[in-house]
Amino acid sequence: MQTKGAAAYSALREAILDGRFAPGSRLTGQTLADELGMSLTPVREALRLLATQGLVEHDPHRGTRVAPLAPESIEETYRLRRVLEPMACELAAQHATADDLAEIEAAMSAFASAVDDKRHDDLPELNAILHHRIYAAAQSPLLLEFIDRLWLRIPFQAMSLVRHQEQKTAEHQAVVTAIVGRRRKAAGRAMLQHITNSTQATLARAKAMEGGSDQEVS
Amino acid sequence: MQTKGAAAYSALREAILDGRFAPGSRLTGQTLADELGMSLTPVREALRLLATQGLVEHDPHRGTRVAPLAPESIEETYRLRRVLEPMACELAAQHATADDLAEIEAAMSAFASAVDDKRHDDLPELNAILHHRIYAAAQSPLLLEFIDRLWLRIPFQAMSLVRHQEQKTAEHQAVVTAIVGRRRKAAGRAMLQHITNSTQATLARAKAMEGGSDQEVS
DNA sequence: TATGGAGATTTTTTATACAATGTCAACGAT
DNA sequence: ATCGTTGACATTGTATAAAAAATCTCCATA
């Protein structure tokens, strides 16, 4: 079983990304501890972790509040994604082991099947797994960690808007094919294209719902 | 007065970077608490913070140990530096405020003066300040954090080898001039050149001293 | 001799109690 | 009437103690 600190962390993280806490609202330790059915200590730990990841802001002796996630921070996230994730794909095309490739293709099939079967609820998870496996194949732990940090800032939630899934599948397939074929530059270009397309959709959607919290992912 | 958690953090951080704890050695909470003259709680907090920054590794119920920085990770560090730091320079050229530019030029002068006066001991510090101010001007907190992470992996220490300081000054000056002149691409190129040159020196030096710990920086 | 496990020990994790600090409202002075 | 001060209150920071988990030791057994 995971530690309570970890449990508190994921619970709070999910709650914040789901928008269950209004941005800027205060998070008092004891209250959260009561709600989560645990003591103050693990809750504090979770809050400190969230603070280092920028999801909450903490001032000594003054408390922690959920970070008001500015629209420009979404832009920042995607700017970094456009640089780091294609880079990871290039490295993956160079350095992926046979095992890596097998896992990537398995994740690709799983995603494609879910699209075919219209299992829309599974898509965010499968999408995340596919991306993560690709990046892991780059054999660059620090780069992987940075990318993970970026993904922490992408709220999953509903992800109910499942239009264009066929296009996303095609884009994913292009990336995977390039990596398996060891075509370094092509892999990077394909991922850049994929992210650019997603960005368009996300920013448009974010603007449309104006302050709404769920977004297009991947 | 700062909180004890913060005090513990900086104390441990400095100790680790100074090499006072051997990489891979175990950091047990109670022991550290005794040495620092405080209780376990703030020490734990500090350790968690250090873990998010990659200076220590933490496994649940198994303890935390100082991260063993692998030699191949030097290469990884520089690969990411070559991407992220030029990117930050481009952004700085676009978004730096008047205050940012003033601080950058002040840091530039300070570095140049130190070179002229042969105050070699001050150079690593001044170099770090200059770089950091440039990156801070990019107005991209997350990018700044990533770059800080990279710099954590560059051991400072001796840095006694102070050859080529005139060249480094010239390279710095080129970056600063481009940023002040709002020449985005030129700023990125100049920094890339600077880092590439440093990389050559660093890797050569690292290979030469084979396992030695101090390196050419910037 | 090698192996496997029960108990002891160490270390981490969590809970609870206490201290320190900041906030806010009521009050008084200018 | 406004501004500053004081004190009660709420909340965070720290210490200490108890609980849980992992590791280690050592002996019995194959």
Give the span between the Cα atoms of A13 and A30, in whole angstroms. Answer: 17
Residue A203 CB: number of other CB atoms within 10 A?
Answer: 16
State mean pLDDT over A178-188: 96
State mean pLDDT over A73-96: 94
| Residue B167 pLDDT class (50, 70, 90 cuts) | confident
The per-residue pLDDT for A183 is: 96
Give the span between the Cα atoms of A213 and A18, in whole angstroms. Answer: 7
Kindly tell me the sign of the dihedral angle through the C-alpha atoms of A187, A190, A195, A196. Answer: positive
* Nearest CB to A142; choose among B3, B45, B80: B80
Give the span between the Cα atoms of A153 and A78, in whole angstroms. Answer: 10
- Residue whose entry in the numeric block shows the structure tokens 């198994």: B62
The burial class, CB within 10 Å (0-12 / 13-18 / 19+), for A204 is exposed
Please indicate whether, in this complex, the C-beta atoms of B142 and A54 are within 8 angstroms of each other.
yes
Which of the residue ranges A13-17, A132-136, B40-44 would you say has the lowest mean pLDDT?
Answer: A13-17
Which of the residue ranges B60-69, B76-85, B138-147 would you say has the lowest mean pLDDT?
Answer: B60-69
Which pair of tokens denotes residue B72?
């191949």
The per-residue pLDDT for A205 is: 60
Which pair of tokens denotes residue B22?
């051997």
Using CA atoms, how far residue B166 sits from B113, B117, B123, B195, in Å, is: 11, 12, 12, 15
Give the span between the Cα atoms of A52 and B179, in whole angstroms. Answer: 30
Contact A129, A190 (CB under 8 A): no
State mean pLDDT over A66-70: 82
Give the span between the Cα atoms of A172 and A72, in whole angstroms. Answer: 27
Contact B63, B57 (CB under 8 A): no
Which of the residue ranges A188-197, B13-22, B153-162, B172-181 would you say has the lowest mean pLDDT?
Answer: B153-162
| Residue B44 pLDDT class (50, 70, 90 cuts) | very high
Please, what is the Cα angle at B192 between B186 and B195, to 5 degrees?
Answer: 140
The per-residue pLDDT for B158 is: 39
* Min distance B25 CA to chain A CA atoms (Å): 21
Asked if the model's pLDDT at residue B206 lies above 70, the reply is no
Using CA atoms, how far residue B209 sits from B123, B187, B203, B206, B215, in Å, is: 21, 33, 10, 5, 9
DSSP A33-52: HHHHTS-HHHHHHHHHHHHH
Closest by CA to A54, choosing from A65, A42, A38, is: A65
**Average pLDDT of chain B, as a whole number:** 86
| Residue B165 pLDDT class (50, 70, 90 cuts) | confident
> Each residue of B81-119: pLDDT tens digit?
999 999 999 999 999 999 999 999 999 999 999 988 888
Using CA atoms, how far residue A41 sits from A4, A29, A44, A57, B42, in Å, is: 9, 9, 5, 18, 11
Asked if the model's pLDDT at residue B217 lies above 50, the reply is no
Alpha-carbon Rg of chain A, whole angstroms? 19
Give the span between the Cα atoms of A41 and A43, in whole angstroms. Answer: 5
Looking at the complex, does the CB of residue B52 fall below 8 Å from at least one CB of chain A?
Answer: yes
Which residues in chain B touch residue A6, judged by CB atoms under 8 angstroms apart?
60
Give the residue, A201 or A186, on which the prediction is more confident.
Answer: A186
The per-residue pLDDT for A204 is: 65
State mean pLDDT over B109-137: 91
Å separating the CA of residue B198 from the C1' of nucleotide C6: 59
Contact A151, A195 (CB under 8 A): no
All structural domains of chain B: 4-66 (1.10.10.10), 72-209 (1.20.120.530)
* Nearest CB to B142; choose among A2, A76, A87: A76
> Each residue of A123-181: pLDDT tens digit?
888 999 999 999 999 999 999 999 999 998 886 544 445 567 788 899 999 999 999 99
Give the span between the Cα atoms of B157 and A170, in whole angstroms. Answer: 51
Asked if the model's pLDDT at residue B218 lies above 70, the reply is no
State mean pLDDT over B23-46: 92
Where on strand D do bases come within 7 A of a protein Cβ? 10-17, 21-23
β-bridge mates for residue B66, sequence order:
B56
DSSP A50-69: HHHTTSEEEETTTEEEE---
**Amino acid occupying residue B214:** D
The values of phi and psi at residue A38, to 5°, are -145, -175
The values of phi and psi at residue B59, to 5°, are -120, 135
* Nearest CB to B140; choose among A44, A76, A87: A76
Which pair of tokens denotes residue B148?
């800080």
Give the residue, B68 or B210, on which the prediction is more confident.
Answer: B68
The per-residue pLDDT for B207 is: 56
Give the span between the Cα atoms of B172 and B175, in whole angstroms. Answer: 5
| Residue B150 pLDDT class (50, 70, 90 cuts) | very high
Contact A95, A190 (CB under 8 A): no
Using DSSP, state whether B68 is helix, strand or coil. Answer: coil
Which of the residue ranges A60-74, A136-150, B12-26 would you say has the lowest mean pLDDT?
Answer: A60-74
Asked if the model's pLDDT at residue B143 lies above 60, the reply is yes
Give the span between the Cα atoms of B149 and A210, in whole angstroms. Answer: 34
The per-residue pLDDT for B74 is: 81
The per-residue pLDDT for A73 is: 82
Which of the residue ranges A199-213, B167-181, B204-218 would you say has the lowest mean pLDDT?
Answer: B204-218
Contact A26, A65 (CB under 8 A): yes
The residue of chain A with its CA nearest to that of B138 is: A76
| Residue A213 pLDDT class (50, 70, 90 cuts) | very low
Which pair of tokens denotes residue B164?
């080529």
State mean pLDDT over B160-178: 82
Contact B28, B46 (CB under 8 A): no
**Average pLDDT of chain A, as a whole number:** 86
Give the span between the Cα atoms of B111 and B169, in whole angstroms. Answer: 8
* Min distance A92 CA to chain B CA atoms (Å): 14
| Residue A206 pLDDT class (50, 70, 90 cuts) | low
